[in-house]
Amino acid sequence: MSISALSIHGLSIVSGARELYRGFSLEAEENKVTCMIAPSGSGKTTLLDFIAGTLYTENVTACGEILFAGKTDRPAVSFLFQEPRLIPSATVMQNVVLPLVNVMDKNAAEARARLFIDRVQLSAEAASYPDELSGGEKQRVSMARSFAFPSKLLLMDEPFQSQDLRIKLHLMDTLQQLLDTERRTVLFVTHDVKEAVLLSDRIIVMDGTPLHVVLDEKHVTKSDTALEKHITSLVVHP
């Protein structure tokens, strides 16, 4: 029997007076993109924080079991956020190298950073600072940083939300190219159905308070317009 890369069982999360999850369970397959679609503000980011071990908000309580490849030890996790979260005073190279210096020697860290900066087509901007880059370029630096860090699990929190359509499509294409060369187990949360259908291997649609699963499509065909329409009918409320 295969062991899931990520397993959550009996998760309950309460934020203030609001119950976000009750007895929630999830199995994420290794090296696959599992997307979770839910309305804005419903608790998607809170779930990622629980998985990453960064759920520190005082008015939030959580209980439940989480396993990583069958073990309780939390591995290193990469995160791709809604905003790039780059260090303004650091160059592109320095931003990508920084997470690597504690897990490999300096030469290896710089070589790996250069590799992924090249893969997102920003080699010419390696010595530039974030305020010299466009919004799309900043997010590509964030992608390079996330993939350069040698983790098996990547958590994505609506990383294309703030971009216009042309840049969003370019970023999604860049992400797919990175995944083609550097496979990861990805948990991707969004409320954008088109993003989900273009990028995911599996789509879980959630709704309600607390959130519950209304659709679990385990075998997604890229750009499946029928599936896109079906999901949209589930998540768009009258």
Please say whether the beta carbons of 123 and 114 come within 8 A. yes
Q: Which residues contact 179 (CB under 8 A, 6 or more apart)?
A: 33, 186
pLDDT tens digits, residue range 61-116?
999 999 999 999 999 999 999 899 999 999 999 999 999 998 999 999 999 999 99
Q: Which of 36, 46, 29, 50 is nearest to 216 (CA)?
A: 36
By DSSP bridging, strand 202-207 and strand 33-37 are parallel
Q: Is the pLDDT of residue 41 over 70?
A: yes
At residue 2 the predicted structure's pLDDT band, cuts being 50, 70 and 90, is: low
E strand residue ranges, the chain: 6-15, 18-28, 33-37, 60-68, 77-80, 153-157, 185-190, 202-207, 212-217
φ, ψ of residue 194 to 5 degrees: the values are -60, -45
3-state secondary structure of 59: coil
Q: What is the mean pLDDT of the chain?
A: 92
By DSSP bridging, strand 60-68 and strand 77-80 are unpaired
At residue 237 the predicted structure's pLDDT band, cuts being 50, 70 and 90, is: low
Please say whether the beta carbons of 216 and 223 come within 8 A. no
